[in-house]
Amino acid sequence: MVDAPFTLGAVAYDPKVVTIWDGFRTWFNARGFPFDYVLYSHYERQVEELLEGHIDAAWSSPLAWVRARRLAAAAGTFVQALAMRDTDRDLTSVVVVRANSDIETVAQLRGRVVGVGAVDSPQGTLIPLAHLQSLGLAAGEDFEVRGFDVGVGLHGDHIGGERDAARALTEGRVDAACMIDGNHLLFTREGTLPGSSMRILTQTAPYDHCTMATRPLLDAETAGRFRELLLSMSYADPSVRPLLDLEGLKAWLPGRTEGYAQLETAVDTFHFYDRAGHITALDYRP
């Protein structure tokens, strides 16, 4: 009997995901590491199947990592953050207003309308709203939150919600909009947010984004070999460089978990998951 390949779960937030993981499968297999992948329509099922041992690793959003960690801890076990992209470290979210707005301080958002991304977006909703709360303004109490629920279940990987919030700001339908710093730059370049007519009101502290999570009880040798191969991928290798470009990185780095503290706080603040990892957000159904 042929041993089952190492199986990774990924969420199909874009058609390019198939191209990426088909290419990585060929690359891993060519190095003597039998590899396959399974695609999911949303992160919640992927997390649950990781914990159930149906997949060996999950390419996880930050919110998926938080849930996987909590579910594992509640079951008396743990998941490991094995690796992450170089582009997953030290990101921030920003709250943007129109340059001619009379809003000069965060306190002046009181009574205004703030546009956010999808309800399950760490970077476009949860983290920036928790940031505003830390500055003294409670979402839904001190200001109105207008969500743009595009791709719910994809944990903000589909940036349509943030783009719609940015458009609403440009059109004057909201007074401020939340987005990750990289999308702020993207929206400025593409003209969704005309650069000269917008300004950043406030910016969060740095946080980390996606991570490669491995299932509980995965043997150390297999996990170590998978990690070793990931970290060995070279941007100078023409066979893998196009895949790295599609996935948005130049190098895989060791995983770390300290960059999720802000999101853990936001999850608790807005009762998104409970401490055991159960979905408790009333307005969230992937």
Q: Give the whole-angstrom CA distance, residue 164 versus residue 174.
A: 11
Is 0.85 topped by the overall pTM?
Answer: yes
- The tens digit of pLDDT for each residue in 3-30 reads 789 999 999 999 999 999 999 999 999 9
Q: Residue 61: pLDDT above 50? A: yes
Q: Give the whole-angstrom CA distance, residue 272 versus residue 278.
A: 9
Instruction: For residue 136, give both structure tokens.
Output: 């003294």
The dihedral region occupied by 160, where left means phi > 0, alpha psi between -120 and 50, and beta the remainder, is alpha
Q: Give the whole-angstrom CA distance, residue 44 versus residue 65.
A: 10
Q: Which domains does the chain have, with CATH numbers?
A: 6-88+208-257 (3.40.190.10), 93-203 (3.40.190.10)
Type and span of the H or E element at 164: helix 160-170
254-268 burial, b if ≥16 CB within 10 A, otherwise e?
Answer: ebeeebbebbbbbbe
**Which residues are CB-contacts of 4 (< 8 A; sequence separation ≥ 6)?**
34
CA distances from 205 to 62, 123, 126 (A): 15, 12, 13
**Which band of pLDDT confidence, cut at 50, 70 and 90, is reported for residue 2?**
very low
Q: Residue 212's beta-bridge partner residues? A: 59, 83
Q: What is the mean pLDDT of the chain?
A: 97
Edge to edge, the sheet with strand 93-98 lists 144-147, 113-116, 176-180, 93-98, 198-203
Q: Give the whole-angstrom CA distance, residue 162 versus residue 253.
A: 27
Q: Give the whole-angstrom CA distance, residue 116 versus residue 131.
A: 13
**Which band of pLDDT confidence, cut at 50, 70 and 90, is reported for residue 127?**
very high
- The tens digit of pLDDT for each residue in 164-199 reads 999 999 999 999 999 999 999 999 999 999 988 999
Matching residue, tokens 């000269």 = 196
φ, ψ (nearest 5 deg) of residue 223:
-60, -40
- The tens digit of pLDDT for each residue in 194-215 reads 988 999 999 999 999 999 999 9
CA-nearest of 231, 232, 233, 226 to 35 is 226
CA-nearest of 97, 64, 112 to 210 is 64
Task: Provide the pLDDT for residue 28.
Answer: 98
Q: Residue 220: pLDDT above 90? A: yes
